[in-house]
């Protein structure tokens, strides 16, 4: 590689310009807004205030924040538990591997809204499941399948499971099989080989999957929106309403900044503990 | 290496996961042929909804808007991302680590943060929102993907080819167009395709930064889905799922054969 400061930045300048102008500056501006004062009709008064943060952690919104963290975390863990054996199976499926992987790519690329809609057909009060159960006489009244934390977690898992599968799949596929043979030759049983060899070697995939599943899961607003009609809230709903309905940009900005900090921290941790090769797992 | 019993359990488990993925989708497809206007009771087979959806003006204009946005986004982010990949592949320079970090931010940043941040800036500048105000956000979140895909392609090819071209007297410009560009072209195309798909699929940034009258397809789907189950959404979803299926299998199989990632 050549040391050439000028040429490097000449090639980089258009994208750095774009990212600075439309990503860095707006996010910095959000950070500033979060410390301003909310005036009448949502006017931004440039006087220092931490009110947005105190109200974000007041009982009303703190509940939503913890609820979001908890649901997103739960959904991510479920995704991990489902994705690992699933990815392991695909990675070892021989000639079927590519076809099976493409079958995962279809839901991965199909719009989240459409995939959530598919569950609404199944689960709403006049939905397929409720109709079926009522026809069989198991229930009298439709079950509230979507309008519950369980429904929200189902939506999150369904929405973001492919995000967990793909990086784990890549890390299992890249696994050097000779390590497994060596472990076996040295007398380790399958369980021990898995815990001491396979799991540590695929940890970068798990980490990458965890980040790219947890981040959209905690910030999404359409799952709660479509499944519960806004009765159950996550951080994303509060941010959206703060900007579009309540005109309380300070609160929305503060919550956005908290999300941003969470994301930057997890990215830094990821980049600290993985090699350059592993970073491809994020994309 | 795997014990037969382990394999059997894994197989059954994976089958269940596939069912989990596809059963809801299957019901959307089935109900798109349902005669009933209301809800989810099967009353008979019909293709009527497919006929009426192609006359839906809102839908046509939203589709055109989506394609317009995706094309503009793809052009800009493919050029910018490719240039950035060339810089990161070829040169070492002060601040390289920070630049790399910056490029990973759009990959992991929650789309809602990008969306409200842009909305806030537009508000500050008193800009009126329209179709084009969604372009900056779409490009900002796709540049990195193009960069990373092209970079992967660059790092898999032989640097000595470029050096040979230079040794044989080609200048930098000529070397790029005659040697480097043809070699990384598949990577650029893969990056462009990725950018196009992400832009087409993007909902949150469009939702916040489009003008009130400008819908994209995902934004229109959102407003339709909010109102509940309807034959139009069933049909629209079925068409989109069918297109996804075709694209994924055609592109996927071709790329696997060509030995490319993604």
Contact (Cβ atoms closer than 8 angstroms) between residue A79 and residue A161: yes
Element (DSSP H or E) covering residue A256: helix A249-273
Lowest-confidence region among A37-51, A151-165, B1-15, B247-261: B247-261
User: Largest Cα–Cα distance of chain B, in whole Å?
Assistant: 75
pLDDT of residue B256: 64
Question: Is the Cβ pair B110, A131 closer than 8 Å?
Answer: no
Lowest-confidence region among A37-46, B129-138, B147-156: A37-46
Residue A251 lies in a domain: yes
What SS3 state is found at A37? Answer: strand
Q: Does A199 touch chain B (CB under 8 A)?
A: no
**Helix, strand, coil tally for chain B in percent (to 5):** 75, 0, 20
pLDDT of residue A85: 96
Tokens of A266: 């997890």
Shortest distance between the Cα of B184 and any Cα of chain A, in A, equals 16
| CA distance linking residue A247 with residue A251, whole number of Å | 9
Element (DSSP H or E) covering residue A16: helix A5-19
Residue B259 pLDDT class (50, 70, 90 cuts): very low
Residue of A14, A30, A101 with shortest CB distance to B116? A30
Q: Does A113 touch chain B (CB under 8 A)?
A: yes
Chain B residues with beta carbon closer than 8 angstroms to that of A220: 112
Backbone CA torsion sign across B193, B195, B196, B202: positive
Tokens of A128: 């397929």
| CA distance linking residue A90 with residue A79, whole number of Å | 16
pLDDT score of B12 more than 90 = yes
Backbone CA torsion sign across B147, B149, B154, B156: positive
Minimal-distance CA residue of chain B relative to A107: B21
pLDDT digits (tens, 9 = 90+) for B20-70: 999 999 999 998 998 887 767 778 888 888 888 888 888 899 999 999 999
Tokens of A29: 């501006």
pLDDT of residue B1: 56
Contact (Cβ atoms closer than 8 angstroms) between residue A181 and residue A198: no
Question: Is the Cβ pair A216, B111 closer than 8 Å?
Answer: yes
| CA distance linking residue B34 with residue B27, whole number of Å | 11
Determine the average pLDDT of the residues in B81-106. Answer: 92
Question: Is the Cβ pair B109, A260 closer than 8 Å?
Answer: yes
Question: Is the Cβ pair B25, A115 closer than 8 Å?
Answer: yes
Contact (Cβ atoms closer than 8 angstroms) between residue A72 and residue A218: yes
Name the one residue in this structure whose structure tokens are 């990632």. B261
Chain B residues with beta carbon closer than 8 angstroms to that of A3: 91-93
Residue of B18, B81, B106 with shortest CB distance to A23? B106
pLDDT digits (tens, 9 = 90+) for B163-197: 888 888 888 888 888 888 898 899 999 999 999 99
Candidates B5, B9, B21, B197: best to mutate against A (most CBs of A within 10 A) is B21
Query: Phi/psi class of residue A110: alpha, beta or left (left: φ > 0; alpha: ψ in -120 to 50)?
Result: beta
Contact (Cβ atoms closer than 8 angstroms) between residue A191 and residue A205: no
| CA distance linking residue B216 with residue B67, whole number of Å | 9
| CA distance linking residue B243 with residue B231, whole number of Å | 18
Shortest distance between the Cα of B261 and any Cα of chain A, in A, equals 10
Shortest distance between the Cα of A44 and any Cα of chain B, in A, equals 10
Query: Phi/psi class of residue A44: alpha, beta or left (left: φ > 0; alpha: ψ in -120 to 50)?
Result: beta
Q: Does A120 touch chain B (CB under 8 A)?
A: yes
Residue A43 lies in a domain: no
Candidates B40, B176, B184, B227: best to mutate against A (most CBs of A within 10 A) is B40
Question: Is the Cβ pair B28, A216 closer than 8 Å?
Answer: no
Residue A266: closest CA among A199, A218, A194, A195:
A218
Residue of B18, B107, B110 with shortest CB distance to A282? B107
| CA distance linking residue A104 with residue A86, whole number of Å | 11
pLDDT digits (tens, 9 = 90+) for A221-258: 999 999 998 889 999 999 999 999 988 999 999 999 99
pLDDT of residue B39: 64
- Tell me: ipTM over 0.95: no
How many other CB atoms sit within 10 Å of the CB of residue A150? 13
CATH number of the domain bearing residue A177: 1.10.3720.10
pLDDT of residue B257: 57
Residue of B84, B107, B120 with shortest CB distance to A11? B84
Radius of gyration for the alpha carbons in chain B, expressed in angstroms and rounded: 23
Residue A121 lies in a domain: yes
CB-count exposure of residue B123 (10 Å: 0-12, 13-18, 19+) = middle
Candidates B10, B120, B154, B229: best to mutate against A (most CBs of A within 10 A) is B120
Residue A24 lies in a domain: no
Residue A109 lies in a domain: yes
| CA distance linking residue A137 with residue A6, whole number of Å | 75
What SS3 state is found at A45? Answer: strand
Chain B residues with beta carbon closer than 8 angstroms to that of A222: 203, 222
Chain B residues with beta carbon closer than 8 angstroms to that of A119: 24
Residue of B136, B221, B244 with shortest CB distance to A106? B244
Determine the average pLDDT of the residues in B77-90. Answer: 95
| CA distance linking residue B107 with residue B121, whole number of Å | 21
Residue B221: closest CA among A226, A153, A123, A229:
A226
The residues spanned by each domain of chain B are: 56-258
Candidates A114, A123, A223, A253: best to mutate against B (most CBs of B within 10 A) is A114
The whole domain housing A197 covers 62-282
How many other CB atoms sit within 10 Å of the CB of residue A228? 20
| CA distance linking residue A220 with residue A114, whole number of Å | 15
Fold held by B56-258? MetI-like fold (1.10.3720)
pLDDT of residue A74: 97
* Mean pLDDT estimate for chain B: 89
pLDDT one digit per residue (tens) for chain A, 283 residues? 778 888 889 999 999 999 999 999 999 999 999 999 888 777 788 888 888 898 888 888 899 999 999 999 999 999 999 999 999 999 998 888 889 999 998 888 889 999 999 999 898 888 888 888 888 888 888 888 888 999 999 999 999 999 999 999 999 998 888 888 888 888 888 888 888 888 988 999 999 999 999 999 999 999 999 999 888 999 999 999 999 998 899 999 999 999 999 888 888 888 888 877 777 787 7
Contact (Cβ atoms closer than 8 angstroms) between residue A154 and residue A226: no
Q: Does A232 touch chain B (CB under 8 A)?
A: no
pLDDT score of B261 more than 70 = no
Residue of B31, B84, B121 with shortest CB distance to A15? B84
* Structural domains of chain A, count: 1
pLDDT digits (tens, 9 = 90+) for A93-116: 888 888 999 999 888 888 999 999
In the beta sheet, which residues pair with residue A3? B92
Residue A158 lies in a domain: yes
Range B207-238 burial, b when 16+ CB lie within 10 A, else e: bbbbeeebbbbbbbbbebbeebbbbbbbbbbb
Distances (CA, A) of A239 to A30, A99, B56, B117: 12, 40, 33, 11
Residue A4 lies in a domain: no
| CA distance linking residue B105 with residue A243, whole number of Å | 23
């Amino acid at each position: 590689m050549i040391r050439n400061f000028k040429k490097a930045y000449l090639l980089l300048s258009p994208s750095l310009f774009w990212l600075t102008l439309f990503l860095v500056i707006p996010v910095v501006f959000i950070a500033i807004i979060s410390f301003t004062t909310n005036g009448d009709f949502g006017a931004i008064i440039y006087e220092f205030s931490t009110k947005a943060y105190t109200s974000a952690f007041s009982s009303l919104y703190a509940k939503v924040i913890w609820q979001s963290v908890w649901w997103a975390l739960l959904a991510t863990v479920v995704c991990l538990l489902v994705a690992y054996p699933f990815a392991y199976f695909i990675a070892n499926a021989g000639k079927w591997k590519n076809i099976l992987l493409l079958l995962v790519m279809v839901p991965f690329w199909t719009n989240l809204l459409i995939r959530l809609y598919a569950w609404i057909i199944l689960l709403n009060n006049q939905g397929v499941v409720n109709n079926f159960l009522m026809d069989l006489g198991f229930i009298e009244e439709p079950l509230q399948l979507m309008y519950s934390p369980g429904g929200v977690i189902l939506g999150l898992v369904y929405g973001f499971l492919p995000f967990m599968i793909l990086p784990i799949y890549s890390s299992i596929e890249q696994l050097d099989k000779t390590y497994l043979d060596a472990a076996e030759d040295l007398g380790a049983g399958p369980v021990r080989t898995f815990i001491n060899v396979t799991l540590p070697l695929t940890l970068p995939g798990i980490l990458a999957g965890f980040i790219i599943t947890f981040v959209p899961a905690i910030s999404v607003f359409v799952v709660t929106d479509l499944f519960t009609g806004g009765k159950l809230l996550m951080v994303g709903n509060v941010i959206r309403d703060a900007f579009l309905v309540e005109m309380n940009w300070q609160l929305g900005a503060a919550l956005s900044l908290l999300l941003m900090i969470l994301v930057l921290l997890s990215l830094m941790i990821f980049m600290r503990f993985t090699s350059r090769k592993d970073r491809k797992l994020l994309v | 290496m795997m014990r037969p019993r382990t394999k059997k359990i894994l197989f059954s488990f994976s089958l269940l996961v596939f069912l989990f993925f596809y059963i809801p989708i299957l019901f959307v497809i089935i109900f798109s042929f349902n005669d009933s206007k209301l809800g989810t009771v099967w009353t008979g087979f019909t293709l009527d909804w497919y006929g009426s959806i192609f006359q839906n003006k809102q839908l046509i204009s939203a589709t055109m808007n989506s394609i317009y946005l995706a094309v503009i986004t793809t052009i800009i982010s493919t050029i910018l991302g490719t240039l950035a990949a060339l810089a990161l592949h070829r040169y070492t320079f002060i601040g390289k680590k920070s630049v790399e970090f910056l490029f990973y931010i759009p990959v992991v940043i929650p789309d809602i943060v990008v969306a409200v941040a842009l909305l806030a800036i537009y508000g500050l500048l008193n800009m009126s929102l329209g179709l084009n105000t969604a372009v900056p956000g779409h490009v900002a979140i796709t540049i990195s993907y193009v960069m990373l895909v092209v970079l992967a392609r660059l790092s898999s090819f032989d640097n000595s080819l470029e050096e040979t071209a230079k040794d044989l007297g080609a200048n930098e410009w000529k070397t790029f167009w005659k040697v480097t560009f043809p070699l990384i072209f598949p990577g650029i195309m893969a990056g462009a395709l990725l950018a196009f798909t992400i832009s087409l699929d993007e909902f949150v940034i469009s939702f916040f930064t489009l003008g009130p009258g400008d819908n994209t397809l995902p934004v229109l789907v959102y407003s339709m889905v909010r109102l509940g189950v309807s034959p139009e959404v069933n049909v629209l979803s079925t068409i989109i799922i069918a297109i996804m299926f075709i694209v994924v299998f055609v592109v996927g199989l071709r790329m696997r054969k060509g030995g490319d990632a993604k």
